[in-house]
A and B are shown apart, each in its own frame.
Chain A
Amino acid sequence: EVQLLESGGDLVQPGRSLRLSCAASGFNFGDYAMHWVRQIQGKGLEWVAGITWNSDSIGYGDSVKGRFTISRDNAKNLLFLEAKSLRVEDTALYYCGKGSGRRSFEWRPVDYWGQGTPVTVSS
């Protein structure tokens, strides 16, 4: 069974940094692209970042480009999101997602989602 468990969400002040983690199990993590998607409470979905199975291609949403960094450790089945210079508007529930399509160099949709970790940016 595919499981994705996010952690690291917290209440932080504007301008500070946070590192989110996602522990994956139940599939061959190193074979699949992974994504971070966020959702402001009561609002829609926003793709934050994605990373291909071998880290060959990385993409970011416009609102986080230059501030957030996605990375992965295939040996430990872990996905990360380093969020710097956090803003009030970054407050959201952050989901980790598994991309479909084994060893694809194309972006593919998210076929499994975690439950999310909440990030609150407030002074």
Chain B
Amino acid sequence: DIVMTQSPDSLAVSLGERATINCKASQSLLHTSTNKDYLAWYVQKAGQPPKLLLYWASTRESGVPDRISGSGSGADFTLTISSVQPEDVAVYYCQQFYTSPLTFGGGTKVEIK
């Protein structure tokens, strides 16, 4: 199984500052036939189900603000919130959909400092 490791477990950021979350896969998620990384990011706010933010490592789902971006390829990925807003307080998860079983990272909790 592909193991997804996120870091840090939590971070506190001042309003307007940058937040960076890392996600490392135990093997490459780059599919050679499509040249795409099979990596998604989700956000889960308190009391709500998760919501898809990004897929193919960097493609934003409809409605996701452009202050949220994804980067990386192969086995190392990053989610960046360029200017943290109050509504960004949540837990963020990465997930690989390269192969079954699909696996999630452990989550990163973002708080306001």
Which A residues lie at the B interface, using CB under 8 A?
A: 35, 37, 44-47, 50, 57, 59-62, 95, 100, 106-111, 113-116
> Looking at the complex, which one of B50, B98, B100, B106 makes contact with A113 (CB distance below 8 Å)?
B50
CB pairs A–B below 8 angstroms (24 shown): A37-B50, A44-B106, A45-B42, A45-B93, A45-B104, A57-B100, A59-B100, A59-B101, A61-B101, A62-B1, A95-B49, A95-B50, A106-B97, A107-B38, A107-B97, A107-B98, A108-B97, A109-B42, A109-B52, A109-B55, A109-B95, A110-B52, A111-B52, A114-B49
- A61 to B99 CA separation, bound complex (whole angstroms): 11
Interface size class of B (residues with CB under 8 A): 20 to 34
The answer to whether A47 touches B103, judged by C-beta atoms less than 8 angstroms apart, is yes
Q: Which residues of B contact A37 (CB under 8 A)?
A: 50
Q: Which residues of A contact B15 (CB under 8 A)?
A: none
> Looking at the complex, which one of B49, B52, B100, B106 makes contact with A50 (CB distance below 8 Å)?
B100
The residue on A at minimum CB distance from B95 is A109
Q: Which residues of A contact B70 (CB under 8 A)?
A: none
Report the minimal beta-carbon distance from A118 to chain B, rounded to whole angstroms: 13
User: Which residues of B in the span 31-83 have a Cβ within 8 Å of any Cβ on A?
Assistant: 38, 40, 42, 44, 49-52, 55, 61
Q: Which residues of A contact B105 (CB under 8 A)?
A: 44
The answer to whether B102 touches A47, judged by C-beta atoms less than 8 angstroms apart, is yes
The answer to whether A47 touches B104, judged by C-beta atoms less than 8 angstroms apart, is yes
Q: Which residues of B contact A115 (CB under 8 A)?
A: 49
